[in-house]
Structure 1
Amino acid sequence: MLHSLEVSLEVSPVVRQAQDAAARAAVLAGVRVGDESELERLREVEALLVTVWGTTQHGAPIPTDLLRSISHAGCNVTVAYTGEGVLCGAAVAIVSPGNAGMYSLIAGVLPGLGDAGVGFALKQHQRAWALARGIDTMTWTFDPLVSRNARFNLTKLGAHAEEYLEDFYGPMADEINANDESDRLAAIWPLASPEAVACSEGAPLATDLPAFTPDQVRATGPDGHPSTVQAAGSTWCRVPTDIVALRVRDPGEAAAWRTATRTLFTTAFASGLAAHGVTRSGWYRLAIKGQQ
């Protein structure tokens, strides 16, 4: 029988901090967060993911049998339940060979709970889970055009991105991706970094677009407004505030944003820049790797 990765009996200060932060995040979100392995509960996780991604049961993002295997292998299936015991969020991650890192496969919360802190509580639980097992880095992919998710990953969690993956998953037909090319950024989350600790305590580094003049504008977006700006020692790149709605309303403009953003990120990363944060209005801050 396989067992979960061994948890150190001696709790280090960084692990204790992560556990305390995870507990606070769950309380603030009004949920109970933990690890799941029971078959019937994992069926509920599959159903939740189907609801979030707008697929059918036959196209479930992660089916129950795979969830069962991931849990049985000692990897991570994190769930969040409301006070009434209703499953409202889930996150799934596997462990890299040699326990060198953790790779998050998926995370989602029920529609309508995006601002309730459930997603943050799920990720903080995963952070504590990893650190307790001697794992200090988590990675995952996300669509750079979905500014809400980008801000959550890079600003609220303290991750950064320095790799652009073109059409990483190939064609995707769920309601969120709407047959767009599946370009992704690879998020890197150093779990014990000062940024991750500050974010876990509810104090992320401020990411605010500085005032800029016309001569600092380097490019305009498909909507005709500035999309790339050089200001305050950083490059700033804008994406749509709601790409999912734009894909429905104007697929041509959405595709143009994909092309423009792909060019900008690949060029920026090749020159040694990394994405370190995203503003509420969808502006990425690109700066030298390691520069906060």
Structure 2
Amino acid sequence: MQREVWGFSDADLIPVRMFVVASKIGGQVIGAFAGQTIVGFALSIPGSRDGRTYLHSHMLAVREGYRNSGLGRRLKLAQRDDAIARKFELMEWTFDPLEIKNAYLNIEKLGAIVRRYTINQYGISSSRLQGGLPTDRCIAEWWLNSNRVRQVLEGGRSINVEPEMVIRVPAHIYQWKNDPASRDRARDTQLANREEFLKAFSRGMAVLGYGRDGEGNGSFLLAHPEEQFEFSSETERETASSCT
């Protein structure tokens, strides 16, 4: 499925044993099935931040015939249910800010926020989705019990944001990445947006909303958050060591 979804070469594939290890050290391996056929999965591994443990969702994939059906969101919600049951407060993952649909899901449908940006996180990737560009990534923070996340999940979409900054992604970005003749336009967009993200985050802003217009263009909406997104002051409880 990794080859089907991302077009990875063998060198970039995550081996089966990594899924086994993740399930045994406190991570998550969650599958979605149609009968006996797996049509989606999510893989998470435990991480540490500020002396507290969290879950890093490293992979989520849905087969082509099952996309745009809400399955990706259902897999994320299954991750959240399991994480909360094991007393985790935070899940994180990276995503390509040039992927408009994915950004919309993360911000608007799940309630994640973004306060960090990494340049060429994974090095040059064999994935056809990357188009040979550097693997720049936004880091999504999903504060599982925050008021924001609860409101988004109960209401079906994010709350209104009065943006202090807007970072735009043109709908043509997919065409530009896939066409060598126009790839420089995709690269220019990535570089310009990279500078905007780094500037905004250095000023304490966060991505709090995401807009899409009728032509499919995307817009990151940034502002200074009013809610505090941080670990609670309670003593961290022990978590279970595996997820089925």
Q: TM-score, normalised by structure 2?
A: 0.83
Match of 1:205 in 2: 158
Match of 1:239 in 2: 169
Match of 2:193 in 1: 261
* Counterpart-to-counterpart distance in 1, 2:125 and 2:144: 30
Residue 251 (structure 1) shift = 0.3
- How do 1:66-215 residues align onto structure 2 when only pairs under 5 Å count? 66-82=18-34, 84-97=35-48, 100-206=53-159
Q: Letter of the aligned partner of 1:81 in structure 2?
A: F
Asked if 2 retains the 8 angstrom alpha-carbon contact of 1:53 and 1:61, the reply is no
Q: Name stretches of at least 5 consecutive residues in structure 2 with no aligned partner.
A: 229-244
Residue 168 (structure 1) shift = 1.2
Residue 255 (structure 1) shift = 0.5
- 1:106-125 residue CA offsets vs partner (Å, 9 max, x unmatched): 11101142210110000000
Residue 202 (structure 1) shift = 4.6
Q: Letter of the aligned partner of 2:107 in structure 1?
A: L
| Higher Rg of the two aligned structures | 1
Q: Which has the higher helix share?
A: 1
Q: Letter of the aligned partner of 1:264 in structure 2?
A: E
* Counterpart-to-counterpart distance in 2, 1:234 and 1:111: 36
* Counterpart-to-counterpart distance in 2, 1:291 and 1:74: 29
* Counterpart-to-counterpart distance in 1, 2:197 and 2:146: 24
* Counterpart-to-counterpart distance in 1, 2:138 and 2:164: 19
Residue 207 (structure 1) shift = 5.2
Cα root mean square deviation, aligned: 2.0
Does the alignment pair 1:65 with 2:17? yes
Question: Could you say if the C-alpha distance between residues 141 and 240 of structure 1 is closer, same or farther in structure 2, counting changes exceeding 3 Å?
Answer: same
- 1:243-267 residue CA offsets vs partner (Å, 9 max, x unmatched): 3332113101000001110111111
* Counterpart-to-counterpart distance in 2, 1:200 and 1:69: 31
Asked if 1 retains the 8 angstrom alpha-carbon contact of 2:169 and 2:219, the reply is yes
Match of 1:248 in 2: 178
Q: Letter of the aligned partner of 1:285 in structure 2?
A: L
Q: TM-score, normalised by structure 1?
A: 0.70
Asked if 2 retains the 8 angstrom alpha-carbon contact of 1:195 and 1:204, the reply is no
Report SS of the residue matched to 1:154.
Answer: helix
- 1:12-32 residue CA offsets vs partner (Å, 9 max, x unmatched): xxxxxxxxxxxxxxxxxxxxx
Residue 162 (structure 1) shift = 0.7
Asked if 2 retains the 8 angstrom alpha-carbon contact of 1:207 and 1:279, the reply is no
Residue 196 (structure 1) shift = 1.5
Provide the aligned length of Structure 1 versus Structure 2: 220
Question: Could you say if the C-alpha distance between residues 233 and 140 of structure 1 is closer, same or farther in structure 2, counting changes exceeding 3 Å?
Answer: closer
Q: Sequence identity of aligned pairs in percent? A: 31
- 1:173-232 residue CA offsets vs partner (Å, 9 max, x unmatched): 211112111111111000011222233335222458xxxxxxxxxxxxxxxxxxxxxxx5
Question: Could you say if the C-alpha distance between residues 90 and 242 of structure 1 is closer, same or farther in structure 2, counting changes exceeding 3 Å?
Answer: farther
Residue 70 (structure 1) shift = 1.3
Q: Name stretches of at least 5 consecutive residues in structure 1 with no aligned partner.
A: 1-47, 209-231
Match of 2:206 in 1: 274
* Counterpart-to-counterpart distance in 1, 2:36 and 2:71: 14
Match of 2:8 in 1: 55
Question: Could you say if the C-alpha distance between residues 199 and 136 of structure 1 is closer, same or farther in structure 2, counting changes exceeding 3 Å?
Answer: same
